[in-house]
Structure 1
Amino acid sequence: MTIYFYTTQGEYGCFSNFSPHGFELDGVWWPTSEHYFQAQKFAGTPHADAIRQVKRAKDAARMGRDRNRPLRSDWEQVKDDIMRRAVLQKFQTHADIRAILLATEDEEIVENSPHDFYWGCGKDGTGTNQLGKILMEVRDRLRQCSE
């Protein structure tokens, strides 16, 4: 069975980067993994802190996608590791959602985003599903830690 998620609703809504599961990373509190991920596009600039401080993940995403902001030059090389770091920290911080992730055992996890062909599977299922792959990697790491 494949586990599909997209919104913050439902049994697997906690897999979404918009889920309200904050964590501390780099010495500050991040309201969601989306806040952290988007802010890292502008690490070391005032843009990063502005993104961290907005209330909603939706606003953090919008700000992070604003190409009037100066995107860091190495973004394409580091974005997967940044996402991996955020997702790992989120699930290490919250025991309740860690249990949900671990309970998926060896099922495939897919971000069922109709718009995103990189992080999700895309409208036609041909996307790379990087977020799903990272969730499965994090699940494996957490499983090793709990054995």
Structure 2
Amino acid sequence: MLPLEIFYIYFSPYTAHAIEIDGVVYPTLEHAYQCARYTDPKIIAEIISAKSPVKAWKASSKYKHLQIPEFKTGEHKLKIMEKLMRLKTEQHEEIQKALIDSGDLEIVKHIVTPPPGDSFWDDGEDGKGLNHIGKIWMKIREGLIDAT
């Protein structure tokens, strides 16, 4: 398994790797993901201006009742997250290198500090979560390796 410190340097949605989409710069992948939940420009601006990924998540959580309906489905969440993770990879060479350098190690998103993890994106509190973040990274890595 990939060492946790490597995950948190490169692959966490909270890492300080900005993502640019259509001329808008999101400070982190987490900011971009939370903004994707909404169409209201005021909500999006509040999330983008959040001083940390945790604060972006908290700002978004206040408006969950206003998120686009598609975000209620796991399939849509996965599609958006993969798109954003691919952009992060394309826009940051060190992410590409870290993915390739990770070889065939399993990538697991494991939460060690608050906010609490969930069993959809990470391995859950009991280690039996779905780990979709890790699975998406491994899928992207496979594509990078196949392309070299």
What are structure 1's unaligned runs of at least 5 residues? none
Which secondary structure state, in structure 2, belongs to the residue aligned with residue 99 of structure 1?
A: helix
Q: How many positions carry a matched residue from both structures? A: 141
Please report the TM-score for the alignment, with normalisation by the length of structure 2. Answer: 0.86
Which secondary structure state, in structure 1, belongs to the residue aligned with residue 108 of structure 2?
A: strand
Give me the identity figure in percent: 28
Residues 19, 32 of structure 2: 8 Å contact kept: no
Residues 118, 127 of structure 1: 8 Å contact kept: yes
Residues 50, 59 of structure 2: 8 Å contact kept: no
Which secondary structure state, in structure 1, belongs to the residue aligned with residue 2 of structure 2?
A: strand
Which residue of structure 2 lines up, in the alignment, with residue 101 of structure 1? 99
**Aligned residue runs from structure 1 range 1-147, under 5 A:** 2-5=1-4, 10-13=5-8, 14-67=10-63, 69-75=65-71, 76=73, 77-113=75-111, 115-145=117-147, 147=148
Residues 20, 32 of structure 1: 8 Å contact kept: yes
Which secondary structure state, in structure 1, belongs to the residue aligned with residue 69 of structure 2?
A: coil
Alpha-carbon separation, structure 2, partners of 1:125 and 1:68: 27
The Cα of 1:27 is off from its aligned counterpart by 2.7
The Cα of 1:44 is off from its aligned counterpart by 4.9
Measured on the aligned residues, the alpha-carbon RMSD in Å equals 1.8
Residues 91, 97 of structure 1: 8 Å contact kept: yes
Q: Deviations over 1:24-53 (max 9, x none)?
A: 113311110000001111135421222112
Task: Please state which structure has a larger fraction of its residues in helix.
Answer: 2
1:85–1:44 CA distance, 2 compared to 1 (3 A): farther
1:52–1:3 CA distance, 2 compared to 1 (3 A): same
Which secondary structure state, in structure 2, belongs to the residue aligned with residue 142 of structure 1?
A: helix
Alpha-carbon separation, structure 1, partners of 2:104 and 2:6: 17
1:69–1:55 CA distance, 2 compared to 1 (3 A): farther
Alpha-carbon separation, structure 2, partners of 1:69 and 1:51: 15
- Over 6 Å off, 4+ runs: none
1:68–1:80 CA distance, 2 compared to 1 (3 A): closer
